[in-house]
Chain A
Amino acid sequence: MATEILMPALSPTMEEGTLAKWLVKEGDTVSAGDILAEIETDKATMEFEAVDEGIVGKILIDAGTEGVKVNTPIAVLLEEGESADDIATSAPATEAAPAAEAADKAAPAGGSAKAAAPAAPAPDTSPDWPEGTQMKTQTVREALRDAMAEEMRNHDEVFVMGEEVAEYQGAYKITQGLLDEFGARRVIDTPITEHGFAGIGVGAAFGGLRPIVEFMTFNFAMQAIDHILNSAAKTLYMSGGQMGCPIVFRGPNGAAARVGAQHSQCYAAWYAQIPGLKVVMPYSAADAKGLLKQAIRDPNPVVFLENEILYGRSFEVPVLDDFTIPFGKAKIWREGTDVTIVSFGIGMTYALDAAERLAEDGISAEVIDLRTIRPMDTDAILASVMKTNRLITVEEGYPQGSVGNYITSVVMERAFDYLDAPVINLAGKDVPMPYAANLEKLALVTTDEVVEAARKVTYR
């Protein structure tokens, strides 16, 4: 049967081109792979090969013709025994690209599924553990170690890898004792090679293990961020649900003290942007433990942001054989009526201190700890704002494109009419972290700033 040769699309964006030159003439026999013509696009001249064998029966578009639309028949290929006269009756090209059409159809429906009327917030306010549970005092450091040890005891496929996690017992002693209990097969010292071991960790998760990859700090994870985003977060989607990546990337994040610009940055907002990732940033020891256990069990890649200054702080932790904190459930640390203060991680220190001071002046602040940035418990924020009508967000990261900016947009969309004052986003200053003690203090968010912001939004 005679087949039409169509003007090819030679790049993702090509719509038309110039048929610069024919390299065959009518009557020539061609086989697959032979170059038929040269096609010029706005970017380049390309050769166009035959896909089938046959005889060039008729050339429909002359060499030198400009503006030939993609999919226009440019020649007819005949099989042996056919003549060019058969051509006139052959059907015109009917297989014009359906892709573009379909894309148009998709546009209106695909857009904003969220644009519908906002649902009333219904936050989960259930207690994290049963009332009356025995508690003990523990540091965040110990809580994190216990979380890993408990999960490793129960699941052989859980292992921890990173720099100095084994023999050195952890650069910040989070993995203390794990090598002794679990051995070198499951507690693995890596060379200093973040890009490489993050990739190996992701590959191991593809292979059915559940790695905990410790970064000595999240600043160093910048070398590995391609694997966290492109290899870990996107694979489930790109594989149509076939290939998941259960992995935890954890380590200290944000400013420590006097370590300068390259070691002092909060990555919460960075990772919170990425679909496919879950992002956790605990404040208390109980949350650190319950959330890390949850992270290790989660079938998705989890970025678990710790804080060096909080490692040594002590909190009450429930004495339970097994407990986890679900993702996407904020914790109300302090109930209040005048202003909502939303924070996470070390920001909670300033939020809680400020609330204490505000209470002395008769301002009742409600303090919410997000605990997980993604998924985010926006319902808890909205329910609180609908009560207090004022909102302050507190974080250590940079101000532009901050977590607070996102919260503000959610509140604008879903609770605009409830606001009695503009939302204030408190963040780290818009500067690289200085070394000098006085300047570093100035660069970080402070309790004073939270108090001042609360007075501003309550007009007191």
Chain B
Amino acid sequence: MATRKTAAKSNVSAEELLGFYRDMLLIRRFEEKAGQLYGMGLIGGFCHLYIGQEAVVVGLEAAAKEGDKRITSYRDHGHMLACGMDPKGVMAELTGREGGYSRGKGGSMHMFSKEKHFYGGHGIVGAQVPLGAGLAFSDRYKGNDNVTFTYFGDGAANQGQVYETYNMAMLWDLPVIFVIENNKYAMGTSVQRATKSPSLWERGAAYGIKGEEVDGMDVLAVKAAGEKAVAHCRAGKGPYILEVMTYRYRGHSMSDPAKYRTRDEVQKIREERDAIEHVRELLLQGKHASEDDLKAIDKDIKSVVNDAAEFAKESPEPALEELWTDIYASEVPQTA
């Protein structure tokens, strides 16, 4: 396995490593199950899986505190699980059932949790970027020290509204962390075919925004970078950009034959750079856990995911009256 920069110097505890392992494995197994349910026709429409990118959200959530907000695009299942949303509610939304986070009315791309400060789940590429800055604006306006993690992909990084947002976020010192999840492909277009910029995070320099590139297959590196970014934002120094280099193993959505890259390319990264394997090795090599310990975790995760799938199948479809509800609010919603 390729050497990772931070792994050696990090003083991570066994408990924390085990937590990372567990959280990343939950996302992977959940997504595999979602893929399976999609194949069975239980999930419809678009379904964008997060497999391969797990270390990004798990590492960054480790740098967050209660009150911090997060918002992302339509590839959102991993973000929801990482911030503690219930796998049952997420899976039942995927199947379009009453027990889903949006009572079946949002689907894979549109879920929210006020309780966990998860603000979606947005289907228009790049639109979540100013929205995330707006969430950060609300915290700055109220005078607290919360930060907002605003996730977007390398594809969204070419949308104009991202740069409109950079400009205002820096102008107004907004406590927003722009997380560019660079998984190398915007649907079927590789980064190299979409831009001549050598790096995406450096574009922030035009607005005076600091940032850095992060190894997104190394959860410890992601956490360390996240902590640095969070400290910057909480200190009132304005936004920060993290370009997290990651990789998605599956297609852009379920209906993507992925002919724009070779099977070897995917296989090589799975074998050499997999974020979950990395933590697994750290655990075993550091004698923090035995094979049996990890097997027990695998088993446990499998049962959590199976329960979620079971719930998502059993939960009834929304009542037909639901078609006509939630179009207008009757009173001002209590937002955190």
Contact = CB atoms under 8 A, between A and B. Distances in A.
A300 interface: yes
Nearest to B101: A240
A29 interface: no
B32 A206 contact: no
A201 B42 contact: no
15 contacts: A11-B254, A46-B257, A51-B33, A95-B42, A100-B41, A113-B324, A202-B134, A203-B138, A204-B134, A227-B131, A235-B120, A240-B326, A242-B333, A243-B333, A275-B327
Interface residues of A, number: 75
Interface in A226-281: 226-227, 230-231, 235-244, 246, 275-276, 278
A215 to B, nearest CB: 15
A12 B44 contact: yes
Most chain A beta-carbon contacts within 10 A, residue among B105, B164, B330? B164
A210 B263 CA distance: 50
A199 B323 contact: no
B326 A237 contact: yes
B40 A8 contact: yes
A196 interface: yes
A191 B113 CA distance: 32
A197 B166 CA distance: 11
Nearest to B38: A9
B168 to A, nearest CB: 6
B141 A209 contact: yes
Interface residues of B, number: 82
B132 A191 contact: no
Contacts, number: 235
Interface stretch (A78-86, A102-110, A351-359, A425-433): A102-110
Nearest to A193: B164
A227 B168 contact: no
Given A10-B254, A113-B324, A195 B130 contact: yes
Contacts of A276: 327-328
B151 interface: no
Contacts of A197: 130, 164, 168
Interface in A1-60: 6-12, 14, 32-33, 35, 43-49, 51
Contacts of A207: 69, 134-135, 137-139, 335
Contacts of B2: none
Nearest to B317: A102
A396 B72 CA distance: 40
Contacts of A200: 130-131, 133-134, 137, 165, 168
A99 B41 contact: yes
Interface string B74-102: 00000000000000000000001000111
B65 interface: no
Interface in B109-149: 110-114, 119-124, 127, 129-139, 141-142
Nearest to B47: A12
Contacts of B259: 44
Interface of A: 6-12, 14, 32-33, 35, 43-49, 51, 70-71, 95-100, 102, 106, 109-110, 113, 157, 159, 185, 190-191, 193, 195-210, 226-227, 230-231, 235-244, 246, 275-276, 278, 297, 299-300
B44 A99 contact: yes
Given A71-B41, A198-B130, A243-B333, 20 more contacts: A9-B38, A12-B46, A44-B257, A47-B263, A97-B41, A97-B42, A106-B317, A106-B320, A196-B165, A200-B168, A203-B136, A208-B138, A227-B130, A230-B123, A240-B103, A242-B102, A243-B119, A244-B333, A246-B329, A275-B327
A226 B112 contact: no
Most chain A beta-carbon contacts within 10 A, residue among B35, B69, B141, B259? B141
A109 B320 contact: yes
Contacts of A98: 42, 317
Contacts of A203: 71, 119, 130-138
A32 B105 contact: no
A32 B130 contact: no
B106 interface: yes
A219 B87 CA distance: 44
B160 interface: yes
A71 B44 contact: no
